[in-house]
Amino acid sequence: MSIIGINYEECNNCNLCVTTCMLFRRDQEQDKIVFNDPTDFCNLCGQCIARCPQDAIIYEGIGEAYSYEDVDKPENIASYDTIYNFLRANRSIRRFKSKEVPNDVLRKVFDAMLHAPTAENARTENFTILSDKEQIKKLNDAVIEELMKQPEVKVKYGMLFKLLGKAFNSPVFFDAPHVIFVDSPLKSEGEFLNIGIIITYGRLAAQALGLGTCWNGWTQIAIMSNPEIKKIANIKGNTVGVFILGYPAVKFYRSPPRAPKKVEGLD
Ligand SMILES: Cc1cc2nc3c(=O)[nH]c(=O)nc-3n(C[C@H](O)[C@H](O)[C@H](O)COP(=O)(O)O)c2cc1C
């Protein structure tokens, strides 16, 4: 996994890589640009690859670059109004059709998540999908058992889970056909941010595919207080994010209101 260097047959000496990343510099003696990373600083962000008009950066083991119309002008791909309406249409879905999502569609959701940014491009996260009803039920029972051990959570959610239990086999997951885990061996607040961003990418990609999703903080809370629960889903990481996914069985006729907030510093 690395940036190997420059294909000099393609390089036109435009210097854009030099102005993009300090690991590229012009070697006066050789009169050419060189890639030099003596302290292994490169985090494989790929900006050199993305910026080179000649596609002259040589790399290996980091997937493939991808070029498409308006990659250089993303505002032409989707207008602010389109994005705004798309974001405002995003709802937490808690009613699903029982139909499973085909693998090729699921792969698109995971592909979008793979392109979410992570701090230092560290990309330590692992991905798991649970689609087996019995396994989901087992996880559901373990999560409820754990949450009900916590007095404050019990007061808040005890009645809710009883009521949801009448409508769903696995109320924690609203009988969604798929439960998705994003986990990392790292244990830090920063890792929660990475996972939050990755899941947001996945949820928005899912929405664009006609799918519905909902964050599952309940499972995250249960796993934090009882890491043994992870074994049910064969998850090994120390920071875990969870969301459910399937075809929505609900329709929304408007985007709900959100009270405005003052932005300090903005008139
Ligand atoms: C980090 C996070 C954790 C959440 N955990 C749960 C959860 O465990 N169960 C649930 O039903 N909804 C969960 N939600 C959904 C929120 O309740 C929901 O986003 C909020 O009520 C706003 O509704 P909307 O998503 O439809 O706009 C979670 C949302 C976030 C962002």
Question: Does residue 254 lie within any of the structural domains?
Answer: no
Inter-residue contact 201 to 108 (CB < 8 Å): no
Q: Are residues 153 and 223 in the same domain?
A: yes
Question: Does residue 262 lie within any of the structural domains?
Answer: no
Please name the residue that has the structure tokens 């998540």: 113
Q: What is the model's pTM?
A: 0.97
Distance 10 CA to ligand 1 centre (A): 50
Q: H helices within 89-168, ranges in order?
A: 103-114, 133-147, 151-167
Question: Does residue 257 lie within any of the structural domains?
Answer: no
Q: Are residues 24 and 150 in the same domain?
A: no
Consecutive sets of 10 residues in the chain, 267 residues long: mean pLDDT of each?
93 96 94 92 96 97 96 98 98 98 98 98 98 98 97 95 97 98 96 98 98 98 97 97 98 98 95
Q: Are residues 175 and 229 in the same domain?
A: yes
Question: Does residue 201 lie within any of the structural domains?
Answer: yes
Q: What is the DSSP string of 16-73?
A: HHHHH-TTEEEETTTTEEEE--TT-------HHHHH-TT--EEEESS------TTTT-
Q: Are residues 22 and 135 in the same domain?
A: no
DSSP state of 188: S
Q: Are residues 20 and 151 in the same domain?
A: no
Q: Are residues 91 and 169 in the same domain?
A: yes
Report d(CA 175, CA 168) in Å as an integer. Answer: 6
Nearest CA to ligand 1 atom 5: 217
Q: Are residues 54 and 132 in the same domain?
A: no
**How high is the pLDDT of residue 1?**
67
- CB atoms under 10 Å from CB of 9, counted, come to 7
**CATH number of the domain to which 130 belongs:** 3.40.109.10
Q: Are residues 174 and 229 in the same domain?
A: yes
Question: Does residue 159 lie within any of the structural domains?
Answer: yes
Report d(CA 140, CA 232) in Å as an integer. Answer: 10
Question: Does residue 30 lie within any of the structural domains?
Answer: yes
Question: Does residue 129 lie within any of the structural domains?
Answer: yes
Distance 219 CA to ligand 1 centre (A): 12
Query: Residue 86: enclosing H or E segment and its boundaries?
Result: helix 80-88
Q: Which domain holds residue 33?
A: 2-60
Distance 243 CA to ligand 1 centre (A): 10
85-to-53, 157, 173, 199, 215 alpha-carbon distances in Å: 34, 32, 27, 20, 20
Q: Are residues 92 and 207 in the same domain?
A: yes
Question: Does residue 252 lie within any of the structural domains?
Answer: no
Q: Are residues 8 and 138 in the same domain?
A: no
Report residues whose beta carbon is within 6 angstroms of any ligand 1 atom. Answer: 91-92, 94, 214-218
Please give the tally of structural domains in the chain: 2
Report d(CA 128, CA 237) in Å as an integer. Answer: 11
